[in-house]
Structure 1
């Protein structure tokens, strides 16, 4: 038996053993229970949680310790900058605001999380742009920088929080301006996975069990939804098998190198399934924009006579991960020009009671497609292999089209 096959067999046996143990002791372990299944984890919900933890006057009652650890672990350019030492010495004076309106620049945007610290005549400002799911808006980061400038802070800093992008898109800020911010220690990119070290440090310092347990639950949520880690016990068990010896490490690398190819082959199968099962009615199916695993790859329902938008299934992350489904316009300008944009979200929210419909600049109405985790879970890939994923995508895309069409929201040629 090859080392690769032996490795796969060992991993399968270990997972089966863990699943058996979890089934036997589920009442004691409660492996599927998570606090975050019962609270809002959309963009505003996550911003609310982070703002509450960063607030020195927050109900966690740990004073400025969480904020201090956040600066230390997540914003080292500030932590090591002499210009920010006065701020660091006065963290207890920091005020934290949620959805702060950019009134000084007259752009009427909302800063997801805004930290302001006044020390004597000097003030310090930090804006955290939280992007767990949504895409960048036109000049968004530039507008935030203008707002911070206009607030006359002695020093200010922008934080772009997401998981997969290395930088904001040029749609939000041009490369030259971003480089100027970086050189001037006015910008940091932070991944959700990068919050883990901060949360663990907070748990060590936290003196309240309930708050510490909440942070542990938040850590598990981030690991699951942004890092693809469903079960740390399972993950650690597999890691132990992989690290046994040189042969198992070599075998695991070989397996890892074929996963991307496997996904691309299954996506090719999905395209064939979709085209075979699709019945041309009032729209045309276009699968030419998917296959390589780049971010924003998509499947389109082209609507004849309505060439400014299409019903769209799109991967929000690279590597075929976190799909969304809804109505997408060809440009932000086209979406703004559509008189039915707000109605699209309202109607879909009303009709699709099991979905949480959101909107963004180019998407008047969309929701996150289930299964959501295509990176860390095998569920979606098994469905493709079994031939059921194509049916699900077609059914949901057709439902979105029919709801919009029946409500006369697709009958205007723009």
Structure 2
């Protein structure tokens, strides 16, 4: 076979593959569009966007209260120790705990005392705290959004160990953030020693959802089952940033429709990362141009271009002299959980309490009250800002940030926000040059 024939055959194959991919993408677009239209037409009967947790306390403490209530064997759910016993069984399935003889399955659950915000070591408070009647203790540090504080997990572990007084104990880190990224909270060597002894495990929210699904299936009370389903839905959407379940089902069915669809889906999946990288370079260049036109300077992390590790981000210097700058940062790897605020530019800039308080006040007056840490005088989740919805918080699982980049809209949004921050701090620009330099 000569080279011309081979070349034509490859070209023909390439056209077929392109046609298959286009057909599948058109199919997905049609089905999702139809589903969304149906949801709109029948919203009075289906209420697809209604969630009871939109009207309840949904901060870290509110979520902890829901989890603790279900785990409490004397809770108002009326299912006794069913939920707690399954939770203990799941702990034993953790690879590090499973290889040990000291398991939690079979622990006496009657008489178990459940506490919220258990005070530990001065100002520290453990989110969920269990003391079993035989003296065993489990503490759960629930971290759906916020950062760990300095030595937080270390202090919790020491407190629980002391309270257990020789009895079995465990600290559960409930978070989507790998604890290996929490050296600030507990050093690697200490954490690994605790893991090896079965006194520390990491549970992410996917694992929690699996437990909630069990609880929903086994609950004999309809009202409890509905509550658990809504809680799982809230965690999927607000913490994990997942797609609408019905849309995900439609896409899955299209992918599994034929061998060609599966092949096309994998080709698309393999190209997604490269497409995102190219869009990020476009975003960087667009944003740099718009910021420079306003007298600002872009700060771009290398990890934003590739790798996308936890705490990857970018920032805006409102003036060249500043030690504190406007920053946008992802809490988890893969461009997940975007937050923003005023941050120190490096660890040589130490916290100055007076400066931190003044910045927090000025920013809160303009953008609403928010958090404050050693690194950030003021920070907030991006979706708390009126110009950015929840879809801009989870770039790993939502198409909207990428469409906004492709349309040059996101660079415009960020630039406008930088202008708003500049104006909010106009009378106090000196605050950004403060901070103790070591």
Residues in 1 aligned to 2:309 and 2:247: alpha-carbon distance in whole angstroms? 29
Write the distance in 2 (CA, Å) between the matches of 1:24 and 1:235.
20
Match of 1:329 in 2: 344
Q: Is residue 141 from structure 1 mapped to residue 160 from structure 2 by the alignment?
A: no
Contact 1:74 1:194 in 2 (8 A): no
The answer on whether the counterparts of 1:71 and 1:79 sit within 8 Å (CA) in structure 2 is no
Corresponding residue for 1:291?
A: 305
Deviations 1:246-301 (A, max 9, x none): 22212111101111111111111111111111146675332354322222122222
Q: Relative to 1, partners in 2 of residues 1:332 and 1:198: Cα closer, same or farther, differing over 3 Å? A: farther
Residue 130 of structure 1 is matched in structure 2 by 142
Deviation at residue 42 of structure 1 after TM alignment: 2.3
SS at match of 1:92: coil
Q: Distance in 1 between matches of 2:66 and 2:137?
A: 19
Matches for 1:237-252 after TM superposition, within 5 Å: 237-252=250-265
Q: Distance in 1 between matches of 2:350 and 2:56?
A: 31
**Contact persistence 1:94–1:115 (CA under 8 A):** yes
Unaligned runs of 5+ in 1: none
| 1:17 partnered with 2:34 | yes
**Residue 244 and residue 54 in structure 1: after superposition, are their counterparts in 2 closer, same or farther (change >3 A)?**
same
Give the 3 Å change call, closer, same or farther, for CA 400–268 of structure 1 in structure 2.
same
Q: Equivalent residue of 2:102, what SS?
A: helix
Contact 1:54/1:64 (CA < 8 Å) preserved in 2? Answer: yes
Contact 1:56 1:64 in 2 (8 A): yes
2:323, 2:434 within 8 Å by CA — same for their partners in 1?
no
| Cα separation, partners in 2 of 1:32 and 1:141, compared to 1, 3 Å | same
Which range is displaced more, 284-293 or 243-252? 284-293
Q: Deviations over 1:118-155 (max 9, x none)?
A: 32xxx111111112112232222111111112212501
Structure 1 position 65, deviation (Å): 1.9
Alignment of 1:351 onto 2:366: yes
Cα deviation, 1:353-379, whole Å, max 9, x if unaligned, reads: 4xx622333222111113223222211
Counterpart CA distance in 1 for 2:281 and 2:23 is: 29
1:102 to 120, 140, 153: 120
Which residue is 2:110 aligned to?
A: 92
Aligned residue number for residue 54 of structure 1: 71
Q: Deviations over 1:319-351 (max 9, x none)?
A: 223211101124678454342223433432332
For the Cα contact (< 8 Å) 2:130–2:138, is it kept in 1? yes
Alignment partner, residue 65 of structure 1: 82
**SS of residue in 2 equivalent to 1:410:** helix
Alpha-carbon RMSD across the aligned residues, in angstroms, is: 2.5
Structure 2: 5+ residue runs without aligned partners? 1-15, 383-387
Q: Is the 8 A contact 1:136 1:168 kept in 2?
A: no
The reply on whether 1:410 has 2:413 as its aligned counterpart is no
Greater share of helix residues, 1 or 2?
Answer: 2
**Which residue does the alignment assign to 2:102?**
83
Partner residue of 1:265? 278
Report whether the alignment pairs 1:218 with 2:231: yes
- Please tell me whether the aligned partners of residues 306 and 412 of structure 1 are also in contact (alpha carbons under 8 angstroms): no
Residue aligned with 2:136, SS: strand
User: Are the counterparts in 2 of residues 95 and 117 from structure 1 also a CA contact under 8 Å?
Assistant: yes
1:277 paired residue among 281, 284, 290: 290
Decide whether the 8 Å contact of 2:73 with 2:81 is kept in 1.
yes
Q: For 1:113, what is the secondary structure of its paired residue?
A: strand
Does the alignment pair 1:187 with 2:200? yes
The alignment's TM-score, normalised by the length of structure 1, stands at 0.89
Any conservation in 2 of the 1:307–1:413 contact (CA below 8 Å)? Answer: no
- Give the 3-state SS of the residue equivalent to 2:146 in structure 1: coil
**What SS does the aligned partner of 2:133 have?**
strand
* Cα 1:129/1:183, change in 2 over 3 Å: same
Q: Contact conserved, 1:326 with 1:400, CA < 8 A, in 2?
A: no
Shift in CA distance, 89/131, structure 1 to aligned 2, threshold 3 Å = closer
Does the CA contact (< 8 Å) of 1:206 and 1:212 recur in 2? yes
8 Å CA contact 2:313, 2:330 repeated in 1? yes
**Partner of 2:305: helix, strand, or coil?**
coil
1:383 matched to 2:404: yes
Matched-pair contact (CA < 8 Å) for 1:310–1:327: yes
User: Deviations along 1:381-406, whole A, 9 cap, x unmatched?
Assistant: 11111111111112223323432443
For 1:361 and 1:125, locate their aligned partners in 2 and report how far apart those are by CA, in whole Å: 31
| Distance (Å, rounded) in 2 between the aligned partners of 1:331 and 1:75 | 41
1:15 is paired with a residue of what secondary structure?
helix
C-alpha distance in 1, partners of 2:177/2:20?
A: 33
Judge conservation of contact 2:145–2:239 (CA < 8 Å) in 1. Answer: no
Alignment partner, residue 156 of structure 1 = 169
After TM superposition, give the deviation of residue 38 of structure 1 in Å. 1.8
